Chains A and B, each alone.
Chain A
């Protein structure tokens, strides 16, 4: 299988999650101080690196290949469907968009009300760990069936560094990044690979092997566009679920 789409999916997924994490880290840094913001971020990154190293290595060493492919496929597919669903609903105007400015302002007012470096450290640590967990899962699942743990981790790091560099240049939260478009692209790719690996995991084969992957991508892209069109034509009813 061509490693480039796998590497790009990891980098994009890491970038999307890094947008939300940098919003909170910047809020901590600007509202309190940069010391707890950076310490909290690095502590969370250390935990995530350990998680990837321990679980990734253990999975490869102890789990049979077929079971691993199935587990990786199932996790990737469910993740992908969840991301894609949110992105399509946002695109169709049926779900509130992720507003980094609002998230940033909420975090700043909470931090200003809650004095102390410990609270600031906890906020940065929690944000990076929570968003990073999704990245860690993507890195582990994609790495064990594609590019290897080291390359997978480096791809994720590249995505995170790119987003962080943009946030540093702009000196604030990334409010103008096309977050939903990125989520849409990553969701489609995760769903594609998840479908491919799940079928491989149950011992089934695809008619054209790995060459089916672009066709699967086109299938989910087509369905997503159809979903956007259908949702837009449907009358609006109040929805209880509007989250990230």
Chain B
């Protein structure tokens, strides 16, 4: 848990977005969707912007 916090900082949104992005990309890729990578970058980006408002 401490190692996770060391990596992710105090954010809860950013790691949650990461899990959604990773899981979604794997599912899309296995389903034959070509642009799973774009989905990954999009979700990470949106999650990042949302995480800015967590403690702000």
A and B physically associate: yes
Chain A residues in the interface with B (C-beta under 8 A): 74-75, 77-79, 81-82, 84-86, 88-89, 92, 94-95, 191, 195, 198-199, 202-207, 212, 216, 219-220, 223-224, 226-227, 230-231, 234, 239-241, 243
Known: A82-B7, A82-B11, A204-B25. A89 touches B56 (CB 8 A): yes
Whether A230 and B37, one on each chain, are in contact in the complex, defined by CB atoms closer than 8 angstroms, is no
Once the chains bind, are A220 and B37 in contact (CB under 8 Å)? no
Could you tell me if B15 and A78 are in contact, using CB atoms closer than 8 angstroms? yes
Whether A227 pairs with B40 at a CB distance below 8 angstroms is no
B1-41: contact bitstring with A at CB < 8 Å (1 yes, 0 no)?
Answer: 00000011111001100100010011001000001111011
Q: Smallest Cβ distance from B3 to chain A, in angstroms?
A: 10
Contact between chains at B48 and A198 (CB < 8 Å): no
Q: In the complex the two chains form, is A85's CB within 8 Å of B45's CB?
A: no
Contact partner, B55, options A75, A223, A240, Cβ 8 Å: A240
Question: How many Å lie between the Cα of A117 and that of B21 in the bound state?
Answer: 50
Interface of B, secondary structure class, is helix
* One of A74, A77, A81, A220 near B11 (C-beta < 8 A): A81
Which chain A residues lie closer than 8 Å to B14 at the CB level? Answer: 78, 81-82, 85
- 9 interchain pairs, CB-CB under 8 A: A78-B18, A81-B11, A81-B14, A82-B11, A89-B55, A89-B56, A191-B48, A204-B29, A234-B56
Q: Which of B10, B11, B40, B49 contacts A198 (CB 8 A)?
A: B40
A79 to B6, CA, bound (A): 8
In the complex, what residues of A have CB within 8 A of residue B55's CB? Answer: 89, 94-95, 239-241
Say yes or no: B56 contacts A239, CB within 8 Å.
Answer: yes
Residues of B within 8 A of A205 (CB): 37
Specify the chain A residue showing the minimal Cβ separation from B14.
A81
Q: Are B45 and A204 in contact (CB under 8 A)?
A: no
Contacts of B7 in A (CB 8 A): 75, 78-79, 82
On whether the beta carbons of A203 and B41 are closer than 8 Å, the reply is no
Residues from chain B with a CB closer than 8 A to the CB of A231 are 52-53, 56
In the complex, A77→B51 CA distance in Å? Answer: 14
